[in-house]
Structure 1
Amino acid sequence: MNNNNRTFITEFFLLGFGDLQNFKILLFISFLTIYLMALVSNCLVVILIVVNRSLHSAMFFFLSQLSLSELLFTNNIVPNMLWLILAGGGKVSIASCVFQFFLLAFPIIAQCLMLASMSFDRYVAICKPLHYTTIMAFGHQVQVVSSCWAVGFLASFVVYVFLNHLEFCGPNTIDHYYCDISPVVELSCSHNPSVELVASALSFPLVVCPFMFITSTYISILHTILKIPSNNGRQKAFSTCSSHLIVVGLYYGSLGAKYIFPTNSSSINLNKSLSLLYTLVTPLVNPLVYSLRNQEIKSAIGKLLHF
């Protein structure tokens, strides 16, 4: 078809939770409460780690970056989602929609890499304790974290550039509360399969491989822990890893389930629910898991409250 005969659209209409408009006030209050709690808890974790010298270690440095990544993609998605709930849906320009996906993919990729870095930190602490201070020196930590952010940015920017070259002729309705890559590509009339091919090609080394690395490090960690002769020693060693394991399970479980299920009409509500897990619920649960299960964090909170 000749491009001159096409009528190109410049906006999408996000339906949000249009099928639950009878409960919009309840949804708004519930999601706003969770959002504010996630915002406060992640900000608190970052502040505690920055101001408290006892938390200036590799594990807590990585944790502060994890909280920053959660703040970035939560603030990118949730405020607009709350507005869509009250308005019953809303328009968004294609440029803004594509940029929203970039701001979502960027911290997600960085977070996958940081979770792998945290597992390596635990591996060195338990399996190679005599070399820990050398391997996990602060300069090395900064290099690792900078690499995580840089790779996340570059990979997301590549997909962002491909998405910006798509053309849209209509329809323009997305049955979601944010701009995910699949519905955006499906609405394109330029038939460019390279976008999803690039996204799939990047997802394996940047999302799947970190999970495989985390799994392999914990196999080694478990093998080392089982060699510890005393029960107290084994419990202490495992307790330093349990919070990270819970966070990895929550994060990869919700993210993986979301992209395993197809995004057809029969599963769109399930897709939205799974998306809520990693855009709203996980950012609240992660800092709580570390705060409630880590004595150093709890002590730092106690000192801050008594200041």
Structure 2
Amino acid sequence: MHRSNNTDVTYFILLGFADAEEIQLVLFVLFLLIYLVTVLGNAGMIMVIRLDAQLHTPMYFFLSHLSFIDLSYSTVITPKTLENLLTSNKNISYASCFTQMYFFVYLGAAECFLLSSMAYDRYVAICNPLHYPVVMSTRRCWALLAGSYLIGFADSLVNRLCTSRLHFCKVNVIHHFFCDPSPILALSCTENHDIEYIIVFFAGITLMVSLIMLSVSYVSILSTILKINSTSGKRKAFSTCASHLLAVTIFYSTMIFTYLRPSKSYSLGKDQVASVFYTIVTPMLNPLIYSLRNKEVKNAVLRLLQKREGSRHVK
């Protein structure tokens, strides 16, 4: 992550919200509250799943790692954004910028395939319930999880190798609130069409492959649900994947809008709104979606609270 020899730039200026100077304090308070809810929500979800034995199932195994990725993902972006909103110094070092971008791409790609793994888990649970314990074995769950992290690592490595070839000719103002690949590519004075195509290609492959896996799983799930005769049976089957489907819709809609376009079509206003939602808001929404719409999580929280209250009375 050290500064390349072929660039004159030693630091960047993140100028993301400079055009909204009069409301920067409002944005600071809002983003701080969102980040606190994100940390508490995702850390709480991980703790509840770890402490409650009834949640030691494949579905919640993946959900705990989704919370871990969302927590890490938000932490990569939000603290620096809060600092820039509160102070006039909006500098970020060359190494810190590319480190932020590396982990941003890594965690984003890993989440794509983790969501696909969760969709596969719901497919097996609904379409092949009798073989669910065998198909979704502990070994299979760990293999799917490891695959998600490895794909994220490979995607971020390709991104880092490509961006390391960029040359920056003294212009170091990034019109964004974090080190996103699109504005950095637009900032470079290198003839970077090949680099851009490689980055967009791998981002597209990551998104499309995971999206195809999701689509195949949910088409099969929908087909199975429609064959169920009773209305209550359909409702029960659909409720087991409704939370995941909502999380997937939010995640992929902003991802596709933001990244599956060439850098020439980069628009500061539209991209920032989408990026705020994708990087800051979505990691907060996932634990809320899964906890508020999930009776098992609610019951687990109640059991933990009752257990704690009981141990307090014993003392």
C-alpha deviation, 1:85, in angstroms: 0.7
TM-score of the superposed pair, with normalisation by structure 1: 0.93
The answer to whether the Cα contact below 8 Å between 1:81 and 1:177 also exists between their aligned partners in 2 is yes
* Matched-pair contact (CA < 8 Å) for 1:15–1:89: no
- 1:300 is displaced (CA, Å) by 1.1
Amino acid at match of 1:14: L
CA-to-aligned-CA distance 1:271-307 (integer Å, 9 cap, x gap): 1111011111111111111101111100111122331
Shift of 1:205: 2.5
Pairing of 1:2-13 with structure 2 (within 5 A):
8-13=8-13
Percent sequence identity over matched residues?
39
Q: Residue 185 of structure 2 contacts residue 263 of structure 2 at CA under 8 Å; is this kept in 1?
A: no
C-alpha distance after superposition, 1:36-65 (max 9, x if no partner): 001100001111111111001111111111
C-alpha spacing 1:265/1:15, structure 2 compared with 1 (3 Å): farther
Q: d(CA) in 2 for partners of 1:168 and 1:153?
A: 25
Aligned 8 A contact 1:261 1:267 in 2: no
RMSD of aligned alpha carbons: 1.8
Contact 1:41 1:288 in 2 (8 A): yes
Structure 1: stretches of 5+ with no match in the other structure: 1-5
Match of 2:121 in 1: 121
Which position in structure 1 is the counterpart of 2:51? 51
Shift of 1:207: 1.2
Aligned residues: 302
Native 8 Å contact 2:45 2:67 kept in 1: yes
- Cα-to-partner distance string for 1:162-193 (whole Å, 9 max, x where unaligned): 21232211211111110111111222223233
Shift of residue 197 of structure 1?
2.0
Please tell me whether the aligned partners of residues 172 and 187 of structure 2 are also in contact (alpha carbons under 8 angstroms): yes
What is the 5 A alignment of 1:1-307? 8-88=8-88, 90-259=90-259, 267-306=267-306, 307=308
Q: TM-score under structure 2 normalisation?
A: 0.91
Match of 2:3 in 1: none
Asked whether the 8 Å contact 1:168–1:187 carries over to 2, the reply is yes
The 1-side partners of 2:54 and 2:16 are apart by 44
Question: Per-residue displacement from partner, 1:78-104 (whole Å, max 9, x unpaired)?
Answer: 000001111245111222211111110
Tell me the distance in 2 between the aligned counterparts of 1:275 and 1:156.
18
In 2: Cα distance, 1:27 partner to 1:199 partner: 31
Query: Secondary structure of 1:191's match?
Result: coil
Matching residue of 2:311: none
